[in-house]
Amino acid sequence: MTEWSFTGPAGRFSVPVSGNLSSNSAETILAGVQAGVGIGMFYRASLVEALKHADVITVLDEFVNENQDVNLVWPKRRFISTRVRLATDFFTQKLPLRI
């Protein structure tokens, strides 16, 4: 069993949930939702493409607090590799567009 966190007029609260499908993959849970298995908890950024389809709707939007920190962590070094710099630049540009 897991808990889903919400924020309402009285503050934050959690609801225990359980079911036949559990995954840490947004794609897997979305496939289950679209197949009629049940409902899923998603961050809005995970549903950008799915919300273009009429068979996916959101519920309880007013209770979902989507503030999530995104952290990129690497060892403290004087020089940052080109790969790390490119990845950092990519996320800096693309994440605001999906949130």
pLDDT in tens, 62-83: 888 766 666 777 777 788 888 8
Q: How many domains does the chain have?
A: 1
Q: How many CB atoms lie within 10 A of CB 33?
A: 19
Pairwise CA distance, residues 63 & 7, whole Å: 5
Highest averaged pLDDT of the listed ranges 6-10, 44-48, 66-70:
6-10
CB-based contact 19:28 (threshold 8 Å): no
Q: Which residues pair with 3 in a beta bridge?
A: 16
- Please name the amino acid found at residue 30: L
Return mean pLDDT, the chain.
81
Q: Per-residue pLDDT tens for 15-32?
A: 998 888 888 888 898 888
- The domain in which residue 91 lies consists of 2-98
44 — pLDDT class (breaks 50, 70, 90): confident
93's CB contacts (< 8 A; 6+ apart) are: none
The pTM is what? 0.57
Say whether 8 sits in a helix, a strand or coil. Answer: strand
